């Protein structure tokens, strides 16, 4: 007896999405969202770079003092500078002291005065760089008292004025970056909300059909929420990737380490966290904006 073969089973057919993707409408929104994420990443990384530079400057300034040896008639300024360095180096809380020479002072003035410099008979103050210990650093008053006891004509600069200015500037830069991030997030939310309302109007027939079969407003809003969440994730990945490419280009092609007062662009774990969180935050902002916009429109309609 011959057995009839079992009927062939066809592969299960996946149902079509209720809100199919529309590339003609999604592409411009994707580009705008990716640009906003890119700008947000640059703002966050720039703020981090500025704060890193400020921390380095403050550490350098707070870890050093400068002794200015005043050139007085009848005194050897270089000998006074060497003696001041010896006295300062022997004090507790001082790691070391280095006396500067007249040639080094002329080199410091060369960017402003040119290679000819000052006349040899014109007295120039000499500088002594004092490096402090990290624990229990010496006080400026203690160094000044020791120099006065030796009768050395000197002034002490503890750099506190400069470090406070650097901290204020860095704090202002961070606040500006946070404000910029807030504005970018608000702009992204507004763009997504506008696009969600436009998408709702374009798919009014689908929304009406879902409403007729008993779909609640929350279910319809979740459909738009999921769609824009995925779009936000994709745009966030694209924007973060472009920001990473720009940072790498600046680091290896622009010589950012020699930029002086400009933020130092380096790739650290903090940068990686920012770039990894950017797509997630972009998706959440897009989903929340779409849900609120669609929910409000549906409540006003029915």
Question: pLDDT in tens for each of the 302 residues of the chain?
Answer: 455 555 555 555 565 566 666 667 778 889 999 999 999 998 888 777 777 777 777 777 778 899 999 888 888 888 999 999 999 999 999 999 999 888 888 888 787 777 776 777 778 888 999 999 988 889 889 999 999 998 889 999 888 888 788 778 878 877 888 888 889 888 888 888 888 888 888 777 777 787 788 878 888 888 889 989 999 999 999 999 999 898 888 777 755 555 555 555 566 788 888 899 999 999 999 999 989 988 888 887 76
- Which of these, 175, 176, 199, 195, lies nearest to 187 by C-alpha position? 195
pLDDT at residue 234 in the model: 94
pLDDT at residue 276 in the model: 92
Task: Let me know: does 232 contact 285? Beta carbons within 8 Å.
Answer: yes
Task: Let me know: does 84 contact 112? Beta carbons within 8 Å.
Answer: no
pLDDT at residue 10 in the model: 54
pLDDT at residue 259 in the model: 53
pTM over 0.85: no
CA distance 224 to 196: 7
pLDDT at residue 254 in the model: 59
Q: What is the sign, positive or negative, of the torsion defined by CA atoms of 268, 189, 38, 177? A: negative
C-alpha radius of gyration, the chain, whole number: 33
Q: For residue 49, count other CB atoms closer than 10 A to its CB.
A: 23
């Amino acid at each position: 007896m011959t057995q009839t073969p079992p009927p062939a089973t066809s592969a299960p057919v996946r149902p079509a999405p209720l809100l199919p993707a529309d590339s003609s409408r999604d592409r411009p929104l994707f580009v705008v969202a990716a640009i906003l994420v890119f700008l947000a990443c640059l703002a966050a990384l720039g703020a981090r770079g500025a704060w890193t530079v400020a921390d380095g400057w403050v550490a350098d300034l707070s870890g050093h003092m400068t002794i200015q040896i005043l050139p007085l008639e009848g005194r050897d300024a270089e000998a006074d500078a060497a003696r001041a360095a010896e006295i300062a180096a022997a004090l507790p809380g001082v790691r070391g002291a280095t006396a500067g020479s007249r040639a080094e002072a002329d080199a410091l003035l060369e960017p402003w005065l040119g290679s000819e410099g000052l006349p040899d008979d014109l007295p120039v103050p000499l500088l002594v760089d004092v490096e402090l210990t990290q624990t229990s650093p010496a006080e400026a008053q203690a160094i000044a008292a020791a120099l006065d006891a030796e009768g050395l004509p000197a002034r002490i600069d503890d750099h506190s004025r400069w470090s406070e200015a650097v901290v204020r500037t860095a704090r202002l830069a961070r606040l500006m970056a946070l404000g910029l991030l807030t504005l970018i997030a608000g702009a992204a939310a507004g763009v997504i909300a506008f696009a969600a309302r436009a998408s709702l109007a374009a798919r009014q027939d689908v929304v009406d059909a879902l409403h007729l079969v008993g779909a609640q407003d929350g279910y319809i809003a979740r459909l738009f929420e999921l769609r824009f969440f995925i779009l936000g994730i994709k745009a966030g990945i694209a924007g973060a990737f472009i920001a990473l490419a720009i940072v790498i280009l600046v680091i290896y092609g622009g010589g950012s380490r020699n930029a002086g007062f400009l933020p130092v662009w380096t790739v650290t774990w903090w940068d990686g966290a920012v770039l990894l969180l950017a797509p997630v935050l972009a998706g959440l902002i897009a989903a929340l904006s779409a849900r609120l916009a669609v929910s409000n429109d549906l409540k006003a309609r029915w």
